[in-house]
Amino acid sequence: MVESRDKCTGDHVRKTAAYADIILRELKRENIYTDQLTDAFVSDVVHSAPLHDIGKIQVPDLILNKPGKLSEDEFEAMKAHTTAGADMIRHAMDMVSESDSGYLREAMNLANFHHEKWDGTGYPRGLKGEEIPLSARIMAVADVFDALVSRRSYKEPFSFEKAMRIIQEDSGSRFDPAIVDAFCRAGEEVRRVMNSVLSSCLPEPAER
């Protein structure tokens, strides 16, 4: 449903899920956040990661695919995809049994909080540090990295090196430093994923 609305989101949800999987495996390998990184948690996050942008279904087409910078009002409408997504997933959870809703709990965290920032300046609730669910802190890094290296209607893609430098520069402000370190340690695997997935956001061919 999201892919049919947004020219870019289809590849984005698949790539961010792959990056999240890389981070989770690296954190587990380094024995970081071991109290939370159970096999069930890792599985739930990887399987729910593609739902993190589900709230974009409710963002108007003119905003979702706008080629230029969003106005203040348009940006507020775009920001609402976080709470909208969480509401959709919460409604889905109400319709299934508790035993069948496991991964949807993490999907709700991802949708709601993947734009929160480590220093508390994010949205929708301004959560800070470990107040932000671990799954959402992981998705924050995956989400921004993919946005940086992907072509969008309003920007050209950044190089792998420049994108990684931006992620590192935002460690401790926008991102959880432990997650940034894990992501950078797995840089070559990240690069392979980046290069192995074709973007669906290429410009339309020029008319002859």
DSSP letters, 58-80, are GS-HHHHT-SSPPPHHHHHHHHT
Whether 87 has a pLDDT exceeding 80, the answer reads yes
CATH code of 44's domain: 1.10.3210.10
pLDDT of residue 68: 85
pLDDT of residue 203: 40
Domain for residue 204, yes or no?
A: no
Domain for residue 15, yes or no?
A: yes
Of 130 and 15, the structure prediction assigns the larger pLDDT to 130
Domain for residue 43, yes or no?
A: yes
Q: What is the mean pLDDT of residues 193-200?
A: 68
Domain for residue 150, yes or no?
A: yes
Domain for residue 202, yes or no?
A: no
Domain range for 108 is 2-196
pLDDT of residue 9: 53
Domain for residue 143, yes or no?
A: yes
pLDDT of residue 8: 57
Domain for residue 205, yes or no?
A: no
pLDDT band at 66 (very low <50, low <70, confident <90, very high): confident
List C-alpha distances in Å: 183 to 118, 132, 186, 204.
16, 18, 5, 33
Instruction: Name the domain count of the chain.
Output: 1
**135 and 106 Cβ atoms separated by less than 8 Å:** yes
Domain for residue 206, yes or no?
A: no
Q: Whole-angstrom Cα distance, residue 114 to residue 184?
A: 19
Whether 12 has a pLDDT exceeding 90, the answer reads no
